[in-house]
Amino acid sequence: MEYQNVLVGISGGIAVYKVCDLVSQLSKRNKNVKVIMTEHAAKFVGPVTFEALSHNPVAVQMFDEGTDPIPHITLAQWADVFILAPATANVIAKAVHGMADDLLSSTMLALTCPKIMCPAMNTHMLENPATVRNIAQAEKDGWNIVMPEYGHLACMESGKGRLPKTDVLLDAIEQAAAEHPLKGLHVLISAGPTQEALDPVRFLSNHSSGKQGYAIAKAAARMGAEVRLVSGPVALDRIDGVQTIPVKSARDMQQAVEENFDWADFIIMAAAVADYRPKQTAEQKIKKHEGSMMVEFVKNPDILAGLGAKKKNGQVLCGFAMETENLEKNARAKLESKNCDLLIANNLTTPGAGFQTDTNVVTMMKLDGNEQLPLLSKEELGCRILKEMMEIRKGK
């Protein structure tokens, strides 16, 4: 989705004057621009200048009278993309250590959008091991770093430390914003096996690890979506920023998925749902007897088929098919009968595909044709699936 709201954080260095041009160029490109300055930054160029260039009030103080009582949260939520330019050694250190002692640092802590950090300072400050460590850590924490250029510095030295030209900063904004193509979209995913209880100590299940569904959830969150993950019992860590709804049986899963169905724009059924459950769940542990034992099974609801039947315009539905033979024929029949927009078919017997692996080899099936994908990590495949769903959504 095209980004609109650019939040510019300005900390106190001589390069503040260069950011006037950045704000002006963003306004010319019809972006909504808001500026936060530190008090030190406001000593280099007055907030009035940025107010005129951004056509918005400039925020400096945490507690301005008569305005929003929680500006740091409001601004962080408003932003589609954030750029910290220039980023001084002090403000970088604050960002990396999670400090929140003024409006800019508090806002940075509350950001969920893509963010760019543009260090600009004296060469020795830049090369100080503390700053080097902090910038490396910021990158690990998800900041996109635009490193400074060589040139003449305000301290009359030549070296690395100059804030790059406006064009470089504009490109960095474009690139970072493109990383969140799912911003504003709701993605509902099911993952893992279901467990069908036989008695209080036993259940029937399958070998699903949940890895593929969790990998899609991770990819969707990284691409900026709001994600809800309905998960059968798995041995995987919860994913930061993803709302996980734990379930056990197919019927629990059906209820959780259906409760969240209207909320969702994209629905991906990656779970290995048990088709049958024991007709009766014994209240007490079943004791062993002489001879064999019969268990009668009844059919579970087909969750995906139920969703396909009530899918609304604009919703994109993706199913999975796990086959051991006649992959194309069986999987295409599922795509059509369950009214999916996309079906990810894999053959359990293909090397690199299957339940416990970190990779997958799949055929992506749409109504108008198939695409065989190469061996991919489950997260890469997650990205491909989500991109395909975006394309399908555009065509709807």
Catalytic: 383?
no
Q: Which of 20, 113, 155, 318 is catalytic?
A: 155
Q: What is d(CA 306, CA 147) in angstroms, rounded to the nearest whole number?
A: 52
Q: What is d(CA 225, CA 393) in angstroms, rounded to the nearest whole number?
A: 14
- When asked if residue 319 is in the footprint of ligand CTP (CB under 6 A), the reply is yes
Of 164 and 319, the one with the shorter C-beta distance to ligand CTP is 319
Of 148 and 193, the one with the shorter C-beta distance to ligand CTP is 193
Q: What is d(CA 258, CA 177) in angstroms, rounded to the nearest whole number?
A: 32
Which residue, chain included where needed, has tokens 């460590």? 133
Nearest approach, Cβ of residue 263 and ligand CTP (Å) = 18
Binding mask 117-146 for ligand CTP (x = CB under 6 A): ------------------------------
**12 CB neighbour count, 10 Å cutoff:** 18
User: Binder to ligand CTP among 322, 361, 364, 389 (CB under 6 A)?
Assistant: 322
Q: What is d(CA 277, CA 202) in angstroms, rounded to the nearest whole number?
A: 12
DSSP class of residue 56 equals S
- When asked if residue 275 is in the footprint of ligand CTP (CB under 6 A), the reply is yes
Q: Are 243 and 264 in contact (CB under 8 A)?
A: no
10-18, 118-126, 317-325, 369-377 -> range binding ligand CTP (CB under 6 A): 317-325
Nearest approach, Cβ of residue 182 and ligand CTP (Å) = 20
Residues 193-252 that bind ligand CTP (CB under 6 A): 250
Residues 87-106 that bind ligand CTP (CB under 6 A): none
- When asked if residue 362 is in the footprint of ligand CTP (CB under 6 A), the reply is no
What residue type is assigned to position 380 of the chain? E
Q: What is d(CA 323, CA 314) in angstroms, rounded to the nearest whole number?
A: 29
Nearest approach, Cβ of residue 282 and ligand CTP (Å) = 23
CA 146 from chain centre, in angstroms, equals 22
Of 294 and 298, the one with the shorter C-beta distance to ligand CTP is 298
Nearest approach, Cβ of residue 233 and ligand CTP (Å) = 15
User: Binder to ligand CTP among 300, 347, 359, 360 (CB under 6 A)?
Assistant: 300
Nearest approach, Cβ of residue 335 and ligand CTP (Å) = 10
Cα–Cα nearest to 248, from 269, 267, 211, 273: 273
Q: Is 159 left (phi over 0), alpha (psi -120 to 50) or beta?
A: left
30-38, 78-86, 147-155, 295-303 -> range binding ligand CTP (CB under 6 A): 295-303
User: Binder to ligand CTP among 320, 342, 359, 385 (CB under 6 A)?
Assistant: 320
Of 261 and 320, the one with the shorter C-beta distance to ligand CTP is 320
Of 41 and 191, the one with the shorter C-beta distance to ligand CTP is 191
User: Binder to ligand CTP among 138, 271, 342, 386 (CB under 6 A)?
Assistant: 271
**318 CB neighbour count, 10 Å cutoff:** 24
**166 CB neighbour count, 10 Å cutoff:** 18
Nearest approach, Cβ of residue 323 and ligand CTP (Å) = 7
Q: What is d(CA 361, CA 345) in angstroms, rounded to the nearest whole number?
A: 9
- When asked if residue 54 is in the footprint of ligand CTP (CB under 6 A), the reply is no
Q: Omega into 86 within 30° of 0, i.e. cis?
A: yes
Of 15 and 270, the one with the shorter C-beta distance to ligand CTP is 270
Residues 331-360 that bind ligand CTP (CB under 6 A): 334
For the chain, percent helix, then strand, then coil, each to nearest 5? 35, 25, 40
Of 71 and 319, the one with the shorter C-beta distance to ligand CTP is 319
Which residue, chain included where needed, has tokens 């750029």? 83
- When asked if residue 385 is in the footprint of ligand CTP (CB under 6 A), the reply is no
Q: What is d(CA 336, CA 54) in angstroms, rounded to the nearest whole number?
A: 51
Q: Are 229 and 214 in contact (CB under 8 A)?
A: yes
Q: Are 129 and 120 in contact (CB under 8 A)?
A: no
- Give catalytic residues, as residue numbers: 155
Instruction: Point out which residues bind ligand CTP (CB under 6 A).
Output: 250, 269, 271, 273, 275, 300, 302-304, 319-322, 334
